[in-house]
Amino acid sequence: MTDTLTLTVADLETDVLTGIYSEETGKPQPLRITIDVHMRPQDRYDPETSLDASKNYMDLKHAATEGLPPGVHFKLIEAVADHICETLFLQDARIDAVTVKIVKLAIGIGGEKIGITLHRDRP
């Protein structure tokens, strides 16, 4: 049997310096970010299994918030997703793949969800 483990932080809202249009540059844009991290699990998890047998969910949240370099303007949200992926790969060698979904909240009208999804396997 081959198991996989996916850790998820969903619908995290944060402001990021991003955008290519003049009205976007210089001010943070609200983004909704979902991160899925795929990693190799242990054979079994019993009630006493410690946190080091998995990954702390707060590391995922950190990669999409405080882990983004302050003051850096990302022209594309693809670059934001790229930075999140690379941060998580550097944090933990057990991570096999990362999927980052980003929705630009400021441009959606009537509940539209406009954004990107980047899936990256470990190189």
Q: Which two tokens stand for residue 19?
A: 């955008």
Output b/e per residue, 6-25; b: 16+ Cβ within 10 A: ebebeeeebebbbbeeeebe
Q: What is the pLDDT of residues 1-45, one digit of tens each?
A: 578 899 999 999 999 999 888 777 888 999 999 999 999 887 777
pTM: 0.91
Residue 116 lies in a domain: yes
Q: Range of 21's domain?
A: 5-42+53-121
User: Following DSSP, what letter does each residue of 39-71 receive, concatenated?
Assistant: EPPPS---TT--GGGS--HHHHHHHHTTTSPTT
Q: What is the pLDDT of residues 72-110, one digit of tens each?
A: 999 999 999 999 999 999 999 999 999 999 999 988 788
Rounded to an integer, what distance in angstroms lies between the CA atom of residue 49 and that of residue 18?
Answer: 40
Domain harbouring 98, CATH code: 3.30.1130.10
Q: Which two tokens stand for residue 37?
A: 């991290």
